[in-house]
Amino acid sequence: MCGIAGIIHTDGPGDVGAEMTKMLQSMKHRGPDSAGYALYGEPSELVVMRFKLADPNETSDFDYNERLERNRREVESRLSKIGATVDRVEGESAYAYRATFRYEGELKPLADYVEDIRGCEVLSLGHSLEIVKDLGDAQTVADQYHLDSFRGTHAIGHVRMATESDVDIAGAHPYWAYPFSDVAVVHNGQLTNYHQWRRRLERNGHRFQSECDSEIIAVYLAERLADGTSLETAMKQSLEDLDGVFTYLVVTEDSLGMAKDAMAAKPLVLHEGENLVALASEESAIRAVLPQEIDSYDPYESEVLVWSR
């Protein structure tokens, strides 16, 4: 089933961390397996990289802790080797980290070099995007990663009921649009031409970290954006190219978009306020941040909408 939510403030930063937690927690019944956030803070000069070195499901063998520490140092040294000036690398949980560094070059070789380390997955990379995802419900993840104090302009989130792949962090949403800076996607539905697109994108040199069908939406959009296509055009093309049932949300550094398949098979409720746009699989999620009576509607089939902050 899965639940997705998005929120964008058009009048400056708000408490998007706490707001997204409320929205996702009210849709816990739609997906108790994992919860994930893509949050946009104030754009920084530094590059922010969220990455993990192990999965919470993994059995910890005798040198688990030493290995993680070794690998963390390896990430740091590889960042330096590729030309980044590391600001800091902080542990966010036992296996997830947040690194900030100064870097001007291409992101793809950097991500590939870092992910070459065993067990390492880059969850997000960009100047303001931060993806946090873990097992459990939204409150558990928010508490673990201290997201309630996160301020920013927009965010998307996802609660997952795993249907097509494993319950682990790799299978959790949002997906970073590897290797494109500051783009993330959440998706509710199933894609039936996943393998065709995965093979096509892999031939073009993109990497996939999971077996989850939703990952191709992020990478598909990244490839279009890298060609110079606008977000809205890329999303409209995706309605033709992707087969299956889907409602997905995508965020970039300054905008939030939604797309719905030709059958309108998956729900989405949309509220467009004066200074705030909120959208979610269920209206109760929007009410978690806007308790008063609001005007809302379901976007129609094949609809693509984009808002900017």
Partner 1 sequence: MVAMNPPTDQETRGRNDIRGLAEPDAEAPKVARVEGGTATFDAADLSPRLVNLELRRLIYAEGIREVRIENPGAKHSIAVGLLARCRITINGSLGYFGATLGDGPEIHITGRVGWSVAENMMSGVVVIDKNAGSLTGAAMRGGDLVVRGHVGARTGIDQKGGTIVVGGNAGSMTGFMMQRGRQIICGDVGPGMGDSMYDGEIYVGGTVAALGVDCIEAEMTPEDEELLDRKLGIYRIDRPDTFRKFVCGKQLYNYDNLEPSERKLVL
> Which residues are part of the catalytic machinery?
2
Q: Are 189 and 216 in contact (CB under 8 A)?
A: no
- Applying CB under 8 A, does 286 fall inside the site for partner 1? yes
- The binder of partner 1 chosen from 283, 289, 304, 309 (CB under 8 A): 283
Give the SS3 label for residue 98: strand
- Whichever of 45 and 293 has its CB closer to partner 1, that residue is 293
Q: For residue 301, give the amino acid letter.
A: E
How far apart CA 255 and CA 178 sit, in angstroms, is 18
C-beta of 243: minimal distance to partner 1 in Å? Answer: 17
Per CB under 8 A, 137 contacts partner 1: no
Phi, psi of 191, rounded to the nearest 5 degrees: -110, 130
> From the CB of 16, what's the least distance to partner 1, in Å?
21
> In this structure, are residues 175 and 217 in contact, taking their beta carbons and an 8 Å threshold?
yes
Residue closer to partner 1 (CB basis): 255 or 284: 284
Of 228 and 291, which has the nearer Cβ to partner 1?
A: 291
Q: How far apart are CA 209 and CA 15, in angstroms?
A: 30
Is there binding between residue 228 and partner 1 (CB under 8 A)? no
Site string for partner 1, 233-272 (x = CB under 8 A): -----------------------------xxxx-x-x---
Site for partner 1 in 22-61 (CB under 8 A): none
Q: Please give the C-alpha separations between residue 54 and each of 58, 95, 141, 200, in angstroms, as whole numbers.
A: 7, 5, 16, 28
CB-CB neighbours of 246 under 10 Å? 22
**Cα(206)–Cα(219) distance, rounded to whole angstroms?**
7
| Cβ contact 268:279 at 8 Å | yes
**In the complex, least distance from residue 283 CB atom to partner 1, rounded to whole angstroms:** 4
Measured from the CB atom, is 184 or 288 closer to partner 1? Answer: 288
Of these, 100, 255, 284, 308, which contacts partner 1 (CB under 8 A)? 284
Q: In whole angstroms, how close is the CB of 263 to partner 1 at the nearest point?
A: 7
Size, binding site for partner 1 by CB under 8 A: 20
Give whichever of 75 and 286 is closer to partner 1, judged by the CB atom.
Answer: 286
Q: Using CB atoms within 10 Å of the CB of residue 266, give its burial: 0 to 12 exposed, 13 to 18 middle, 19+ buried.
A: buried
Find out whether 10 and 154 touch, Cβ atoms under 8 Å.
Answer: no
Q: Interface with partner 1 by CB under 8 A: which residues?
A: 262-265, 267, 269, 282-284, 286-287, 291, 293-298, 300-301
